[in-house]
Every structure is written in structure tokens, then in C-alpha cells.
Structure 1
Amino acid sequence: MTTTEPVRPRGPVRVAAVQAEPKWLDLDAGVAQVVDLIAEAAANGARLVAFSETFVPGYPWWIWLDSPAWGMQFVARYADNAMTRDGEHLQRIAAAAGRHGIHVVLGFAEKAGGSLYMSQAFIDDTGAVISVRRKLKPTHVERTVFGEGDGSDVQVHDTRIGRLGALNCWEHFQPLTKYALYSMGEQIHVASWPSFSVYRGAASALGPQVNTAASLVHAVEGQTFVVAPCAVVGQAGQDLWCDTEQKRQLLRQGGGFTRIYGPEGTELAEPLAEDDEGILYADLDFSLIAVAKSAADPVGHYSRPDVFQLLFNARPNRVVVSGERPPVEVTEPSDLVPVGEHPLERV
């Protein structure tokens, strides 16, 4: 089943991108913060509000600052304050979305058994949890904390505000992942980032210039609106993660570079200062998608399938398979989802 038929909501769609410091390692306080921000965004007319990567219970900055032995002091606390995808904390957030009639894309650390994942929950304006996806490949030292997702986590969903997809952080440097989303007719994309606070001035690849550019490129390359929330490291975060002056230099306060982009590259909201907390808003005019795609549609008239094709295994990677049926092995192209087909249709 192809999913490239466009959905066009009536009138503009107001979206909101949160720039805030998380309630570090405090699940209950973090959920309360999310509920309050949902209410604020809805009161200002937003039909979608998006949150940064692992906003609950905050990004685990210890992994970039010292040895694994030093970081072990945070491991149990972080796991204790991670959410499950079916627990009462996420249900509380979903109920707030339904109460205020707003879609939510929430970045959170997901606890499943003994493992953690960098997840994003899609919640619709009735309060239904549409889906939870996991980051396909945690980046660098993130792999000391988090497991990885699989092909079923590459998702675009039909909603009342259009076709909605999301990725976390450096998933925006995975060209094939992005191309799969483009092929599913993505119209609004949530690009969730942590703060751009670490190694400022020493590692350009981790800084705001490179990573806001990745959000912008996704918008222009896929002709989609990009809502890019980004967290802030404030005094509370620096005090928690930094016990020396050297670490305070490695993880600076600020780092909030939330952006909203149009499908032809327009910046649609005035940015906040990097150390300010608040919400960015933009009204999305879906006619801009048609204008952008008339110039370059990478999965349509601007593609060359005779030269390049994407093979996409969209099946969940199950670690336990019943003995009643053999595990599925993907060996032939026929087992893979062709570009333009929604992965969840084949799971």
C-alpha cells in the first residue's frame, strides 16, 4: 500500500516547539512539566507541540564528561526515572493531550525490561498514543546507555494535521533513514535535539551551526515542515552533571537552538536566545509543500530509480521467536519494503 497521496488540512496548522530545561532525573516533575507545556501550547492555538530528545528525564550528559566508572553514580537514578511506553506516566501525558485537543511528539528515555531506549511518542489530539518509536542507532557514547531500534521505528503517521514523522538528533545524518521518511509522504517532521552545549568551540559537529543545518536540510530535501525542539542546560543541569570547573567548561549553560522551518527553507519562527526557555510557534501553510516539490521531489520526479533504489527491512527485530514458527530471514529483495510503502503496512 503506497502512502504518497497528500493529506492537506483545511487552513494553516499552528505548531509549537518547546525550548526548556528538563526536570533532570525526576520523572514525576518531568511529567508535570510536560503537562503544563501542553496546556500552554494549546492555549496559544497550537495543534502540535514537540519536545526535545529524551526530555523526560533529561539527556544523560554524564556520558560525555568523564569515565564510565564516574558515570555509574547516575545509571540507577536514570533508569528509575525513565518511562515505559504503557505506564501511568505516559498515560498522564496522553490524557493532557486529549484534554487540550493537541497532538504531541515527546522525546523520552524508554524503559523496557532491563534496557533503555531513546524514544519518541506520537500522541494524537484525542489522547491516543499512536505509536512509540526508538532511535535506530544511538550516537557514540549514547550506546553505553541506550539500545537501538529497528526498521519498524521508521514511521510516518496519518493525522488530522497531516502526515507526521520524527527522528532524534543525529538520525538526521542517516541519508537512507531520511529517504525512507520522504518516501512515506512526510509533511510535518519533528527533529528532536538535546541542547547544543557540550564541547562548544572544540567539536563543531556537536554544535548549533552544524545541527540546525541538519534540520534545515531535512526540510528542503524532503519538502516538509520541520519542527525542531531543542533543550536548554541551565544552572540546575550544570550543577548536577559538573563537579569540576573543567566539566563546566565542557558542558556550558545554554545550548537551546529551537527552530521551525518551511519546506522551501524559510525560517518560520523568531528564535529564542539560547539560554531562554519558552515555546516557538508557527502557522504552516501546506500550499508551500506543493511549491517546493515542483522544484525537486527526491522520491518522485527528481529521483532516478534506474540508478538508485532503497531496500528497507521494516520488520521488528524480535529477540525471542516462538518455536512454533521459524524466524523470518530477510534474504531476498521481495522481503523488503520498497520505497513509497509505509513500513507498518508490512509488519
Structure 2
Amino acid sequence: MRNRNIKAAVVQSAPILFDKQSAMDKIAAMTREAAGQGAELIVFPEVFLPGYPRGLSFGTRVGSRNDGGRTDWGRYWANAIEIPGAEIETIGEWAKELGVYLIIGVVERDQEFSTGTLYNSMVYIGPDGRLMGKHRKLVPTGSERLLWGQGDGSTLTVIDTPAGRIGGLICWENYMPLARMAMYVQGIDIYVAPTADARDTWQATMRHIACEGRCYVISCNQFATKASYPADLACYEDIREDEDILCRGGSAIIGPLGEYVVEPLYNQEGILVADLDLTRVTQSRYDFDVAGHYSRPDVFQLIVNDKKQEIVRTTDMNTLV
């Protein structure tokens, strides 16, 4: 049983879209600010590096794509990162200097099988500066599927740390009951949910997950305005007539009985900070433990394929003889 507190911080912000350096600068500054408030665990929103392209069509209609959209996507690709890679090393240095855990949403450029696929990923970096793990979004939502590939079960990550068992899912993955169960059966204490969903219904989902999983839930969204979009994008016209605030935020921290520890923050950039008492996680499971005494494996079973999926496998022909 864990018997200590950890101070967690949620960063609600957005970088200049398609600008990797802008995102890195914000990560550095806001990590330092949160650490200055005593935070030991700091969470950034979905694809914070290099930003969530809300409202952009990338020149796509059913049955056709245009050159301007391809140019914008190429710019997005150029500002994505590799894992591991130079940006991860730099962020790791900041984490080590400040002695904090960092969880950051990133656009990951595939470096193994392809040079043309991006993933919506979340990286976990420890206070020793090392990359502890990553998760790739299993199912990008709607038109996101034009931008990002699908992850697999090998990155359904929960990491056992002195700060508790930390893991999570990205945005609408949290509406996938079986994906949530894959988190719960790993004994998750602190459930991280980077998102781009600012609707009121998202709050209901986050509170439900906290109550269902009897865990702390850290919901982290961006606060984005049109000022964060480069005006020279080929598809900038897609948002020109939109309201100035493109994403109002709604980041929050929720306790293991579904109550707000920190209420949602709307319509402004900010950092939410709270002490998480991990003994409450254990206590809350007294009457409901979804992966323990409240499960019925004689009735329900979940099969998780946690193997990395490969498109090419090499075989020693001698073994086939």
C-alpha cells in the first residue's frame, strides 16, 4: 500500500501550431513554473508537441486531397519528433534537473517501418531523465485518421513508480471500455487523460473513469486561440471565420471517488496543482475494485494482444526445413 502524497500539475496551454521550437520553449518554461509550485508530476495536453490542428481540413474532401493540404501535412511531419530522439533527450534533461515526472502528448514520426506515418503518442519521462515508456493512440478519431496511424496493444502502458502506478489513454480512447479495463487490471493509481475535447460531456466521462477505476484522473486539455495558428498555412481559411478561442480547455483533477480535486479551468491558460493522497486510492477500493473483488472472470474475460505488430518478419529458411 502506498502511503505518500505526490503533488501533480496539469498544464493547460498551446504552442504555436506546427512549430516544434515553440512547443519546446513552452514545455521548458511551464515545467519550471509548475516545479516551482512544488509539482513532482507534470502533465501536458494531447499532441502538445507540435500542437493539435483543430479545425484544419488539410485540403481533404471525400475522394480527393489537394496540394495545399499535402504541404501543410508535410510541415506538420517536419515538426514531429522521434522517440527516442533529440527532443526527448532535451526534455529528459529538464526533468532530471528539476526532479520531476513529465507526461507529454507528442506527434511521433515513425522511424522503424516508414518515413510517412505519424502517431498521436504520449511519453513518460522520469525524474532521472530517462524515457520510461510511451503510448500510441489506438484509434484516432474521425478526420484525425488522415493525420495519424493506429497504435497497438504493445503500448497500453502503466508504469510502476515510487509516485504510484501511472498510465493512461488519449482523448476518445477513454470511451473504449475494454481499453479502460486494460488500464485497470494493471493496478493504475494515477490515470492520465490528455485530450482535445472541451465539451461538458467530457467531464462526465472523466468523473466516471475516476469512480469506475477508483483512481486519480488527470484530465489535460489545451487552451488554444487563432493567434497560435500560423497565418501562412495553406488551409488557414478553414478557421478564419471561427471564434478567437478554438479550444476553451476544461483541464481538471479528479479523486478516486469521482469528486473534483481541482475544478475544470476554462477560457484561459493556466497550471492546476493538487496534492494526491495515494492512500485514498486503496481505501476507495474497499467497496468496489473493478479488477479485483468486483470482477467476475468466470463470466467476463478480456484478451489483450500486447505484442508489437510488424508488417515484415524475416525468417531463417533453415528453420523451415
TM-score in same-fold range (> 0.5): yes
What secondary structure is seen at the aligned counterpart in 1 of 2:120? Answer: strand
Q: CA deviation at 1:114?
A: 2.0
Partner of 1:97: 95
For 1:228, give the aligned amino acid: S
Is 1:313 the counterpart of 2:315 in the alignment?
A: no
Q: CA deviation at 1:325?
A: 7.9
Q: Is the 8 A contact 1:193 1:228 kept in 2?
A: yes
* Structure number with higher helix proportion: 1
Q: CA deviation at 1:153?
A: 1.1
What secondary structure is seen at the aligned counterpart in 1 of 2:196? Answer: coil
Q: Is the 8 A contact 2:56 2:238 kept in 1?
A: no
Q: Is the 8 A contact 2:100 2:127 kept in 1?
A: yes
**The 10-residue stretch of structure 1 (76-85 or 226-235) with the greater mean CA deviation from structure 2:** 226-235
Q: Relative to structure 1, is the Cα distance of residues 325 and 167 closer, same or farther in structure 2, using a 3 angstrom cutoff?
A: farther
Q: Distance in 1 between matches of 2:182 and 2:120?
A: 20
Deviations 1:35-66 (A, max 9, x none): 11111111111110001110010012244586
Give unpaired runs (5+ residues) of structure 2: none
Question: Which of 86, 105, 108 does residue 106 from structure 2 map onto?
Answer: 108
Is 1:190 the counterpart of 2:192 in the alignment?
A: yes
What secondary structure is seen at the aligned counterpart in 1 of 2:284? Answer: helix
Partner of 2:51: 58
Question: Which of 8, 11, 34 does residue 4 from structure 2 map onto?
Answer: 11
Give unpaired runs (5+ residues) of structure 1: 1-5, 197-207, 327-347
What secondary structure is seen at the aligned counterpart in 2 of 1:280? Answer: strand
Question: Which of 269, 279, 282 does residue 277 from structure 1 map onto?
Answer: 269
CA RMSD, Structure 1 to Structure 2 (Å): 2.1
Partner of 2:226: 235
Q: Is the 8 A contact 2:58 2:73 kept in 1?
A: no
Deviations 1:240-293 (A, max 9, x none): 477458753388434211010001011011433x22111001101112112321
Q: Relative to structure 1, is the Cα distance of residues 270 and 173 closer, same or farther in structure 2, using a 3 angstrom cutoff?
A: closer
Q: CA deviation at 1:143?
A: 0.7
Is 1:42 the counterpart of 2:35 in the alignment?
A: yes
TM-score, normalization: structure 2?
Answer: 0.89
* Structure number with higher strand proportion: 2
Q: CA deviation at 1:230?
A: 0.5
Q: CA deviation at 1:301?
A: 1.0
Q: Distance in 1 between matches of 2:244 and 2:315?
A: 49
Q: Distance in 1 between matches of 2:291 and 2:269?
A: 37
What secondary structure is seen at the aligned counterpart in 1 of 2:261? Answer: coil
Q: Distance in 2 between matches of 1:254 and 1:180?
A: 29
**The 10-residue stretch of structure 1 (213-222 or 12-21) with the greater mean CA deviation from structure 2:** 213-222
Partner of 2:256: 263
Q: Is the 8 A contact 1:238 1:252 kept in 2?
A: no
Number of positions where the alignment pairs a residue of Structure 1 with one of Structure 2: 307
| Runs of 4+ residues deviating >6 angstroms | none
Q: Percent identity?
A: 34
What secondary structure is seen at the aligned counterpart in 2 of 1:312? Answer: coil
Q: CA deviation at 1:193?
A: 0.7
Partner of 2:25: 32
TM-score, normalization: structure 1?
Answer: 0.83
Partner of 1:74: 72
Deviations 1:7-32 (A, max 9, x none): x1x43110001100222111112112
What secondary structure is seen at the aligned counterpart in 1 of 2:42? Answer: strand
Q: Distance in 2 between matches of 1:38 and 1:165?
A: 19
Q: Distance in 2 between matches of 1:111 and 1:251?
A: 30
Q: Is the 8 A contact 2:225 2:244 kept in 1?
A: no
What secondary structure is seen at the aligned counterpart in 2 of 1:36? Answer: helix
Q: CA deviation at 1:234?
A: 1.4
For 1:302, give the aligned amino acid: Y
Partner of 2:284: 292
What secondary structure is seen at the aligned counterpart in 1 of 2:282? Answer: helix
Q: Distance in 2 between matches of 1:80 and 1:158?
A: 33
What secondary structure is seen at the aligned counterpart in 2 of 1:249? Answer: coil
Q: Relative to structure 1, is the Cα distance of residues 254 and 137 closer, same or farther in structure 2, using a 3 angstrom cutoff?
A: closer
Q: Distance in 1 between matches of 2:137 and 2:177?
A: 15
Q: Relative to structure 1, is the Cα distance of residues 235 and 62 closer, same or farther in structure 2, using a 3 angstrom cutoff?
A: closer
Q: Distance in 2 between matches of 1:251 and 1:108?
A: 24
Q: Relative to structure 1, is the Cα distance of residues 245 and 313 closer, same or farther in structure 2, using a 3 angstrom cutoff?
A: closer
Q: Is the 8 A contact 1:195 1:233 kept in 2?
A: no
Partner of 1:302: 294
Partner of 2:15: 22
For 1:304, give the aligned amino acid: R
Deviations 1:131-183 (A, max 9, x none): 12211111111111111111111110011200000211000011001001100
Q: Distance in 1 between matches of 2:58 and 2:316?
A: 48
